[in-house]
Amino acid sequence: MTIGYGAACLAGQDENGTLGLIVTLPVSRRRVAAQKFAAMSLLAVPVTIVTALCVVAGRGFDLTVSSRGLIGVSLGVLLLGIDFGALTMLIGAVSGSRGTALGVSSALAAASYLISSLAPVVNWLHPARFASVFYYAVGDGQLQHGLSPTSAAVLLVVALVLFLSCAEAFERLDVH
């Protein structure tokens, strides 16, 4: 969901001509980008909560997950989604193309997932697991132990860096 929103909120609106109206308002582009980032982050929260509630309902079907693990994984996946949404916003702000933003960020998300999934079983890929944000969200025992402060910090820093880069790129975007 965050990848789709990230592609639509800047590049998508630029392509359909509505972003031009927004940037003519007496509001800085950084503020527009910040509000779109905040909206994307808030939209991801209900999806995370509903997913966690489905896992809780799964306890009736002998699915046992500790509360700490569930909260940790849920928070990790929320931050992971925000990271990929911010990446998509950045690519959209750089390229001005919704399709490019969707394609590139989806490909990077898939590559990150593959690295995280294969690293535990492929020896030569094992060191690359730290390059995948999936590792920090769900690949380091979060379901058993919860989300570590270090992993949460990495995911938050990635989101912050991507957002700040997006805001900078949006300042330079030639809006149509």
- The model scores a pTM over 0.85: yes
**Domain that residue 124 falls in:** 2-172
Residue burial 13-30, b: 16+ Cβ < 10 Å; e: rest:
bbbeeebeebeeeeeebe
- Please determine, for residue 89, whether its predicted confidence score (pLDDT) is greater than 90: yes
The yes-or-no verdict on residue 64 having pLDDT over 80 is no
Number of domains in the chain: 1
What is the pLDDT at residue 32?
A: 96
* pLDDT tens per residue, range 91-129: 999 999 999 999 999 999 999 999 999 998 999 998 999
Q: Quick one: how far is CA 50 from the chain centroid? A: 17
Q: What is the mean pLDDT of residues 52-76?
A: 85
Q: 144 or 38: which carries more pLDDT confidence?
A: 38
- Mean pLDDT, the chain, as a whole number? 93
Distances (CA, A) of 79 to 6, 29, 51, 103: 14, 24, 14, 21
What pLDDT was estimated at residue 39?
Answer: 97
* pLDDT per position as a tens digit, 132-169: 999 999 988 888 888 899 999 999 999 999 999 999 99
